[in-house]
Amino acid sequence: MIHSLFLINCSGDIFLEKHWKSVVSQSVCDYFFEAQEKAADVENVPPVISTPHHYLISIYRDKLFFVSVIQTEVPPLFVIEFLHRVADTFQVCSSNVGDTLPTGQLSNIPWRRAGVKYTNNEAYFDVVEEIDAIIDKSGSTVFAEIQGVIDACIKLSGMPDLSLSFMNPRLLDDVSFHPCIRFKRWESERVLSFIPPDGNFRLISYRVSSQNLVAIPVYVKHSISFKENSSCGRFDITIGPKQNMGKTIEGITVTVHMPKVVLNMNLTTTQGSYTFDPVTKVLTWDVGKITPQKLPSLKGLVNLQSGAPKPEENPSLNIQFKIQQLAISGLKVNRLDMYGEKYKPFKGVKYVTKAGKFQVRT
Amino acid sequence: MSAAPAYSEDKGGSAGPGEPEYGHDPASGGIFSSDYKRHDDLKEMLDTNKDSLKLEAMKRIVAMIARGKNASDLFPAVVKNVACKNIEVKKLVYVYLVRYAEEQQDLALLSISTFQRGLKDPNQLIRASALRVLSSIRVPIIVPIMMLAIKEAASDMSPYVRKTAAHAIPKLYSLDSDQKDQLIEVIEKLLADKTTLVAGSVVMAFEEVCPERIDLIHKNYRKLCNLLIDVEEWGQVVIISMLTRYARTQFLSPTQNESLLEENAEKAFYGSEEDEAKGAGSEETAAASLPARKPYIMDPDHRLLLRNTKPLLQSRSAAVVMAVAQLYFHLAPKAEVGVIAKALVRLLRSHSEVQYVVLQNVATMSIKRRGMFEPYLKSFYIRSTDPTQIKILKLEVLTNLANETNIPTVLREFQTYIRSMDKDFVAATIQAIGRCATNIGRVRDTCLNGLVQLLSNRDELVVAESVVVIKKLLQMQPAQHGEIIKHLAKLTDNIQVPMARASILWLIGEYCEHVPRIAPDVLRKMAKTFTAEEDIVKLQVINLAAKLYLTNSKQTKLLTQYVLSLAKYDQNYDIRDRARFTRQLIVPSEQGGALSRHAKKLFLAPKPAPVLESSFKDRDHFQLGSLSHLLNAKATGYQELPDWPEEAPDPSVRNVEVPEWTKCSNREKRKEKEKPFYSDSEGESGPTESADSGEQMAELGSSEGVSRPGLSPPFPLSFSEQSEEDGKRKTKKKKVPEGKEASSSDEDSDSSSSTSESEMSSESEEEQLEPASWRRKTSLSTPTVTPPSVQPVSPPAIVSTSLAADLEGLTLTDSTLVPSLLSPVSCVGRQELLHRVAGEGLVVDYTFSRQPFSGDPHMVSVHIHFSNSSDTPIKGLHVGTPKLPAGIGIQEFPEIESLAPGESATAVMGINFCDSTQAANFQLCTQTRQFYVSIQPPVGELMAPVFMSENEFKKEQGKLMGMNEITEKLMLPDTCRSDHTVVQKVTATANLGRVPCGTSDEYRFAGRTLTSGSLVLLTLDARPAGAAQLTVNSEKMVIGTMLVKDVIQALTQ
């Protein structure tokens, strides 16, 4: 299937290679470099490139390209998925990869090794929900959806058999499972029943059906205008809390990709700090927390390249935020039960809501 | 040192900052000296006796290899260490060998004996890794050794080693393809392996070595389907993709004759894979299982594949989800394909590479099955931060999804996109608008107006793209758009993009009759700038001139001649050619003649409008999800997805021999196969209310005492039985029809009660293991018995539930192929629901029939017997609005229109008790009155029996220890010490199936709760003096406790 793998950093050095069959020369990567040049932007390098003798399938992660060389038909997603797993592994242990024996393979439960032992037995679950939304100019929601995951950190001795139940499992519209979960139990009782892998892993990811109205926790008032035949424009945005369920919204960041003709920006902010990168034309405003008494705003002048026509489109605002102790969908874990082991584990659940791909069109 | 010069090539690279490993020796100053030193010390380190030094050296060497540096000179020094005792060193030496053995074959041979020894090691990990390295060494000389090693490993007792053997097969094949035949033998052997660990790897080997040998799959097909969910993710992808191809060669297209599906009476005999897999070892099968040609019946194996892959749509792996999606797209009946949309949309949240591949596939699917993705339209909306390649694919999908109803929203979205900063994307959007306009007539004008507005856009690219699209749109209905053409004509002054200018000129020429005044003027202007124009523009100027000359020669004759003269001396020969050709055609000359008379026809012939269609059209002839589909070109090694066969090949090839022990234990049980008919309602049975199924129902009903109209689940009789059954049917058919109509007559209750009575009585007489025979006897002795009331089952909406049950049973053994066995002992006696006095003459009783409820397998089937003891007819009997505790659900029986005085009727209703003994309260309504009634189930009725072997039982029991186990001691009274009585009492109390048991005084019973399907295992250990111990293992502790109580009560009384 995969013939060879090359790791390439963003300056174009091949710094690692691995060959599963015969050795393929590094020169095969030239086709990749060619495509990379053509694409201009790293994100636009086509994931699949056809060369005279090989096919190159690549992913871009953490400023590295993982380029695999394929010779025969194989489902592209198979390779892409594999490369991402490789990348995950690199992230987790940047030390020696081949050091552990494949003991998991031999266990009855392939995802958990036998004989796990802890002095403190703990099971933590993080319910993380992200709001994906597109808000149009007038402030109405074009599209909104909640994507959630439950990440688990399980440090339990032996072979614990856990079942996690929810107060309102019907909320979950579309769920994908870690292979350890018993699909049948979920189907019939809406209970997550599983023998967990040891350590950190993603238990499920889910989508909350878009039929439900999604609460949008922030609003943005904006007025961005560029004057015709003048080298400046006005920029004014204010952020305020909306349906925030009485929780504090924190970690707010606004990122704006300004049009190319923008030279510089002279802004004043009532809260936080902003930076404008004149090369990439990215404005970043780090707001922090919202206090409803005094809404944070950012306003000032935009300097444009003189003589250039005014930009047609106002840039859209990408917003990040975080709300602790809240799952915006209202999902609640009911209880966690453990079977198969005698000790009493320490259990914990944490909820966080974040902005996912949250975009305000202006 | 001789090795040193070889390393000089590393020097340049090693100076880079990204090579920390080389800096082990910080003291070394210059690059050169340090390099020499390093390799020297590597050799020394490898030669020492200290493992730690060796390990250090090997780590550095492997790091060099990973960097693509040449380390081949160290081969002799490294290969010596292959026999090293330290496993860590050994592993790294293996890594080295795999990389360089091909280059230094002679030296590599020295290491072979070590691997051969390793192949015999007691540790399976060492055996496996020896085989892995041996097969990775690409040295042709050792092919025979590899072959031998693979063969041996293929019968290793460790599945892990067998898996490695499967991995080695393609490696050997690529080294020497002459070994194919021998390798196929090994593949065949490994395909028969029953562990999930091996399945994925061997199918992979199959795909690489002999994908054409589809015949090897037959016997393993059902096993692969059943194992699938437990195979690791990578294996799942390969298996699913292979099975898609397999299914295309073996089954009939589900889209043909879809409407006939319902009417097929035979399909009841095609049933669950399980029954077939087990029961169909015999010869008669072949003939019996050939599907009738005409009406389409989905092969049960086809259904099995669809059913077993569906849950994998919820896999976390994008590749698996995609694999299932393509399987459904290529194999499922139209109505079922929809389920994949949700999962595919979910993948759009994933990494951008995943999005890219998924969107390509969605684009192809959305052309064929637009409706499938329509509900998810908004998920394809574009964000300004998406990479351009993703934006363009999303746009493609949005365009494919646009239809009459959603077009306003789509166009509104497009309007936002047009203002994007990403110009490539804007251009693509304009083309998308053009496509929407051609596909949806209603919005054509709106689109056209929008595009015309874009003509005043400041960005030239936008304008140019709009012109090109407008041109195509105008071609469809030119007459109404003179204004737009005029507007475009004005644009020639400003717009510079050649393609756009050419398009405008072509338009004016083509429709010059709509703009008779402007056209000559445009030609005049163009003539002025002719020499400065691009080639494509020049060609169109000539074109325009010619057309004008033909229609309006008075005004344009001179201009045309001027243009043609200019063109005659153009640098480009194409243009010179065209000018000469045009002149000959249009200007009448003495010798010219024939052609010029037809010039007008030639130039001004009506031209067909261009078709704007997606580039993804017809891409689905490639298997979706494949590399070839993505590239839209056949990749090396791509296996064509075959067309459905005209006629299905013999399905019996997939039948598997039954393992010995199941054979014997099932011999008698096979006779009661009518039961499994009902044990599961399946998806494709659908709403079946045809005469055919009615008849079939009547007949089946009579043979069972209870009937379920319309239910025709695909559980087969075991085939050996079927022919027998067939014969019986012929005789019966004649008798049944009279009874068939009488579904709600008074006879019903009598007959059903008589049946249940006879059942009750026979219980005591018959041995438990021979239940079917008596049942048949009863049914045959009363052949005129008509089905007791008949509840026209609403089409079973919830059908996939059976899937869950299938999944649960999956283990690594073959025992899963054993069908579930229903406990033969039936029914708790009648219970009163409504007393005669309270019911004002209406008497209502109920019994638990212990038949699976047809509409929903989670429901307990309850037979309600009505009789009218008043002297007026009771009309409109039905269930009124139930007030139910959470989770409890009721499937009402159909309204009984009228019950004459003295008459009785029986109806079946289903209640989902949610595995609790809470009472289901509901109202029983007649036309005049309402009665509040409630049914509370004994705990034993909340379950259904399952069949399992003793071993399985013990295994399951092992999993349900601790809190899940309830044990109670009891004394069996004298009257209750024979096997027979014990079994009878237990099964009368709880709907459990008996598990065969080795020892004589132990009794085991197994069942599953109906709603959650949790196992309930009951063990009774009887000691000589009447002392006994009762153990119940169940996840549902409440049920367990209650069951213990009930069973003890039954046994001790």
Chain B residues near residue A173 by CB distance under 8 angstroms: 342
Is 70 exceeded by the pLDDT of residue B734?
A: no
| Separation of alpha carbons A350 and B451, rounded Å | 52
**CA–CA distance from B956 to each of A29, A107, B595, B953, B1033 (Å)?**
54, 18, 91, 5, 9
Instruction: Verify whether the Cβ–Cβ distance B387 to A318 is below 8 Å.
Output: no
| Separation of alpha carbons A70 and A79, rounded Å | 9
Which of B379, B627, B1010 is the mutation pick for testing A, counting most A CBs within 10 A? Answer: B627
Query: In this structure, what CATH number is given to the domain that contains residue B933?
Result: 2.60.40.1150
Model confidence at B292, pLDDT cuts 50, 70, 90, reads: very low
> Is B879 in the same domain as B971?
no
Q: Summarize the confidence of residues B532-561 as an average pLDDT.
A: 87
**CA–CA distance from B53 to each of A167, B44, B60, B66, B75 (Å)?**
58, 9, 11, 20, 17
Residue B760 within a domain: no
Is 90 exceeded by the pLDDT of residue B827?
A: no
User: Dihedral angle at the C-alpha atoms of B663, B664, B670, B671, nearest 10 degrees?
Assistant: 150
Strand partners, A252: A288
Number of residues written out for chain A: 362
Model confidence at B191, pLDDT cuts 50, 70, 90, reads: very high
Containing domain of residue B150, as a range? 40-249
Q: Which of B174-188, B580-594, B622-636 has the lowest mean pLDDT?
A: B580-594
The answer, for B635 touching chain A at a CB cutoff of 8 Å, is yes
Is 70 exceeded by the pLDDT of residue B27?
A: no
Q: Which of B239-243, B472-476, B789-793 has the lowest mean pLDDT?
A: B789-793
Is 50 exceeded by the pLDDT of residue B760?
A: no
Dump pLDDT digits (tens) for B60-83: 888 888 888 888 888 888 888 887
> Is B49 in the same domain as B158?
yes
Give A209 or B962, the one with higher predicted confidence: B962
HSE-up (13 A, CA, CB side) for residue B486? 11
Give A76 or B762, the one with higher predicted confidence: A76
**B51 contacts: CB under 8 Å, gap ≥ 6:** B84, B85, B86, B88, B89
Distance from CA of B480 to the nearest CA of A (A): 31
> Is B166 in the same domain as B239?
yes
Share of chain B above pLDDT 70, in %: 74
Is 80 exceeded by the pLDDT of residue B956?
A: yes
Instruction: Verify whether the Cβ–Cβ distance A75 to B383 is below 8 Å.
Output: no
| Separation of alpha carbons B513 and B604, rounded Å | 11
| Separation of alpha carbons A66 and A56, rounded Å | 10
> Is B90 in the same domain as B188?
yes
> Is B881 in the same domain as B1021?
no
Instruction: Verify whether the Cβ–Cβ distance A46 to B229 is below 8 Å.
Output: no
Identify the three-state secondary structure at position A165: strand
Instruction: Verify whether the Cβ–Cβ distance A1 to B204 is below 8 Å.
Output: yes
| Separation of alpha carbons B584 and B948, rounded Å | 92
| Separation of alpha carbons B400 and B380, rounded Å | 11
Query: In this structure, what CATH number is given to the domain that contains residue B971?
Result: 3.30.310.10
Give B891 or B400, the one with higher predicted confidence: B400
Chain B residues near residue A13 by CB distance under 8 angstroms: 16, 18
The answer, for B20 touching chain A at a CB cutoff of 8 Å, is no
| Separation of alpha carbons A116 and A196, rounded Å | 12
Chain A residues near residue B163 by CB distance under 8 angstroms: 105
- For residue B1022, the model assigns a pLDDT of 80
Is 80 exceeded by the pLDDT of residue B476?
A: no
Q: Pick B387's closest partner by Cβ from A41, A173, A205.
A: A41
Q: Summarize the confidence of residues B677-687 as an average pLDDT.
A: 38
Is 80 exceeded by the pLDDT of residue B251?
A: yes
The answer, for B36 touching chain A at a CB cutoff of 8 Å, is no
Distance from CA of B379 to the nearest CA of A (A): 8
Instruction: Verify whether the Cβ–Cβ distance B626 to A73 is below 8 Å.
Output: yes
Nearest C-alpha neighbor of B365 from the set B628, B612, B614? B614
Q: Summarize the confidence of residues B992-1019 as an average pLDDT.
A: 82
Distance from CA of A209 to the nearest CA of B (A): 10
CB B575 within 8 A of CB B535: yes
| Separation of alpha carbons B995 and B948, rounded Å | 6
Q: Which of A208-217, B141-150, B751-760 has the lowest mean pLDDT?
A: B751-760
E strand or H helix that includes residue B286: helix B285-289
Residue B919 within a domain: yes
Q: Find the distance separating the first CA and the last CA of chain B, reported in whole Å.
A: 96
User: Dihedral angle at the C-alpha atoms of B826, B831, B834, B836, nearest 10 degrees?
Assistant: 110
Dump pLDDT digits (tens) for A110-146: 788 777 889 999 999 999 999 999 998 888 888 888 9
R_g (Cα) of chain A, nearest Å: 25
Residue of A nearest to B311 (CA): A183
Residue of B nearest to A7 (CA): B67
Residue B908 within a domain: yes
Is 70 exceeded by the pLDDT of residue B36?
A: no
Is 90 exceeded by the pLDDT of residue A68?
A: yes
- For residue A94, the model assigns a pLDDT of 53
Is 50 exceeded by the pLDDT of residue B788?
A: no
- For residue A93, the model assigns a pLDDT of 59
Distance from CA of B959 to the nearest CA of A (A): 8
**Which tokens hold the place of B709?**
């109209």
Residue with the two structure tokens 């085989």: B131
Chain A residues near residue B68 by CB distance under 8 angstroms: 14, 17, 26
Q: Which domains occur in chain A, in start order?
A: 2-94 (3.30.450.60), 122-129+143-212+337-349 (2.60.40.1170), 218-324 (2.60.40.1170)
For residue B799, what is the DSSP state? -
Residue with the two structure tokens 């003939």: B287
- For residue B257, the model assigns a pLDDT of 55
The answer, for B311 touching chain A at a CB cutoff of 8 Å, is yes
Dump pLDDT digits (tens) for B384-437: 888 999 999 999 999 999 888 889 889 988 988 888 888 888 889 998 998 888
R_g (Cα) of chain B, nearest Å: 39
- For residue B321, the model assigns a pLDDT of 94
Dump pLDDT digits (tens) for B327-357: 999 999 888 888 899 899 989 888 999 999 9
> Is B916 in the same domain as B1013?
no
E strand or H helix that includes residue B904: strand B904-912
Give B588 or B537, the one with higher predicted confidence: B537
Residue A173, amino acid = D
Residue after which a domain boundary falls, among B909, B937, B965: B937
Chain B residues near residue A23 by CB distance under 8 angstroms: 99
> Is B886 in the same domain as B926?
yes
Q: Summarize the confidence of residues B592-614 as an average pLDDT.
A: 73
Q: Which of A49-63, A91-105, B776-790 has the lowest mean pLDDT?
A: B776-790
Task: Kindly report the average pLDDT of chain B as a whole number.
Answer: 74
Nearest C-alpha neighbor of B239 from the set B231, B329, A178? B231
Is 60 exceeded by the pLDDT of residue B489?
A: yes
Model confidence at B685, pLDDT cuts 50, 70, 90, reads: very low
| Separation of alpha carbons B840 and B680, rounded Å | 39
| Separation of alpha carbons A254 and B495, rounded Å | 39
- For residue B586, the model assigns a pLDDT of 80
The answer, for B837 touching chain A at a CB cutoff of 8 Å, is no
Share of chain B above pLDDT 90, in %: 12
Give B632 or B615, the one with higher predicted confidence: B632
Residue B969 within a domain: yes
> Is B960 in the same domain as B866?
no
Share of chain A above pLDDT 70, in %: 94
Residue B52 within a domain: yes
Describe chain B by its helix, strand, coil percentages, rounded to 5. 60, 10, 30
Instruction: Verify whether the Cβ–Cβ distance B389 to A46 is below 8 Å.
Output: yes
Instruction: Verify whether the Cβ–Cβ distance A143 to B378 is below 8 Å.
Output: yes
| Separation of alpha carbons B986 and B983, rounded Å | 5
> Is B873 in the same domain as B914?
yes
- For residue B261, the model assigns a pLDDT of 42
The answer, for B808 touching chain A at a CB cutoff of 8 Å, is yes
| Separation of alpha carbons B340 and A3, rounded Å | 31
Q: Summarize the confidence of residues B547-563 as an average pLDDT.
A: 85
For residue A26, what is the DSSP state? G
Query: Domains in chain B: how many in total?
Result: 3
- For residue B768, the model assigns a pLDDT of 43
| Separation of alpha carbons A335 and B479, rounded Å | 71
Strand partners, A147: A130, A207
DSSP string across B669-716:
GGGGTHHHHHS---GGG----SHHHHHHHHHHHHHHS---TT---SPP
Residue B774, amino acid = W
Query: In this structure, what CATH number is given to the domain that contains residue B125?
Result: 1.25.10.10
Residue A158, amino acid = G
| Separation of alpha carbons A97 and B465, rounded Å | 52
- For residue B978, the model assigns a pLDDT of 76
> Is B916 in the same domain as B963?
no
Q: Which of A316-325, A332-341, B102-111 has the lowest mean pLDDT?
A: B102-111
Give B998 or A269, the one with higher predicted confidence: A269
Positive or negative, the CA dihedral B967, B968, B971, B972 is negative
Number of residues written out for chain B: 1053
- For residue B748, the model assigns a pLDDT of 42
**Which tokens hold the place of B236?**
């799942």
Residue B637 burial by Cβ neighbours in a 10 Å radius (0-12, 13-18, 19+) = middle
Q: Summarize the confidence of residues B611-623 as an average pLDDT.
A: 80
Chain A residues near residue B102 by CB distance under 8 angstroms: 22
Q: Which of B213-222, B553-562, B591-600, B979-988 tops mean pLDDT? A: B213-222
Is 60 exceeded by the pLDDT of residue B707?
A: no
Residue of A nearest to B807 (CA): A184
CB B748 within 8 A of CB B787: yes
Q: How would you label B420-448 residue by residue, b for 16+ Cβ within 10 Å and e otherwise? A: bbbeebbbbbbbbbbbbbbbbeebbebbb
Instruction: Verify whether the Cβ–Cβ distance A205 to B808 is below 8 Å.
Output: no
Q: Which of A41-45, B455-459, B527-531, B762-766 has the lowest mean pLDDT?
A: B762-766
CB B229 within 8 A of CB B808: no
Residue B451 within a domain: no
A-B interface: how many C-beta pairs under 8 angstroms? 218
Residue B598 within a domain: no
CB B229 within 8 A of CB B284: no
Q: Summarize the confidence of residues B316-323 as an average pLDDT.
A: 92
**CA–CA distance from B323 to each of B165, B240, B242, B735 (Å)?**
25, 6, 10, 50
E strand or H helix that includes residue B969: strand B965-971
For residue B458, what is the DSSP state? S
Give B7 or B250, the one with higher predicted confidence: B250
Nearest C-alpha neighbor of B375 from the set A190, A210, A55? A210
| Separation of alpha carbons B278 and B816, rounded Å | 10
Q: Summarize the confidence of residues B148-167 as an average pLDDT.
A: 91
> Is B931 in the same domain as B951?
no
Residue after which a domain boundary falls, among B192, B222, B249: B249
Residue B271 within a domain: no
> Is B948 in the same domain as B931?
no
Residue with the two structure tokens 């024996």: A101
Positive or negative, the CA dihedral B240, B246, B250, B251 is positive
Share of chain A above pLDDT 90, in %: 36
Residue after which a domain boundary falls, among B232, B249, B266: B249
Model confidence at B696, pLDDT cuts 50, 70, 90, reads: very low
